[in-house]
Amino acid sequence: MSSETVLIMSHIPPDAKWYLAEIVEEFRIESEPDNIVHTNMVLVRADSPEEAYRTHLPWGKKAR
């Protein structure tokens, strides 16, 4: 297997309504040499994986 190979090992049932999203936040403090990174898991209600992604992607963009 090459380093460029991507395996997707998940199964999404056709009637799935709940999806799990991971939100990654980076905090930079001007006087500190290190950054702080927090990860949070959020449960998302949507009719498809595409809808979950499309409707919740703006969350990440708002945090900028």
Residue spans per domain, the chain: 18-62
Give the Å distances, CA to CA, from 45 to 6, 12, 28, 42: 27, 14, 31, 10
Q: Which residues contact 23 (CB under 8 A, 6 or more apart)?
A: 39, 40, 41, 42, 59, 60
Asked if pLDDT for residue 15 goes beyond 90, the answer is yes
Distance CA 43, CA 51 (A): 13
pLDDT of residue 55: 86
pLDDT of residue 7: 62
Calculate mean pLDDT across residues 20-46: 90
Asked if pLDDT for residue 34 goes beyond 90, the answer is yes
pTM over 0.85: no
